[in-house]
C-alpha cells in the first residue's frame, strides 16, 4: 500500500493533511511538527478539511475532526 500524498493547507494550526480513502485514515501534520492519525473519517470530512467551507482549515479541524474521531499520535 502506498501512502497518501500530503496536501499543504493554509492554516496556522495545520501544516498538511493526507487522506487514504480505502482505509478512511486521515493524517494531520500540525505546525508543531506532530502527526496524528484519525480513524474512520468520511471522505467528505477529509475533503472539507483541505478546502473548508469556512475558509479556515484550523477552525474546520477544531469543529469537525478533533473530538469526533478516534486518533493516535505517530
| pLDDT at residue 64 in the model | 96
First-residue to last-residue Cα distance in the chain = 18
Single pTM value for the model: 0.92
Angle at the Cα of 23 from the Cα atoms of 14 and 62, rounded to 5 degrees: 30
**pLDDT tens series, the chain, 74 aa:** 457 899 999 899 999 999 999 999 999 999 999 999 999 999 999 999 999 987 889 999 999 999 999 999 99
| pLDDT at residue 3 in the model | 76
**Nearest-angstrom CA–CA distance, 62 and 57:** 9
| pLDDT at residue 2 in the model | 59
Using the structure block, give the residue that is written with the C-alpha cell 467551507. 53
State the cell numbers at 15. Answer: 501544516
| pLDDT at residue 1 in the model | 47
Amino acid at each position: 500500500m502506498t501512502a497518501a500524498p500530503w496536501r499543504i493547507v493554509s492554516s496556522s494550526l495545520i501544516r498538511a493533511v493526507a487522506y487514504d480513502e480505502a482505509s478512511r485514515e486521515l493524517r494531520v501534520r500540525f505546525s508543531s511538527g506532530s502527526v496524528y492519525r484519525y480513524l474512520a473519517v468520511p471522505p467528505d470530512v477529509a475533503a472539507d478539511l483541505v478546502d473548508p467551507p469556512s475558509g479556515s482549515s484550523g477552525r474546520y479541524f477544531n469543529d469537525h475532526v478533533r473530538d469526533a474521531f478516534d486518533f493516535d499520535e505517530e
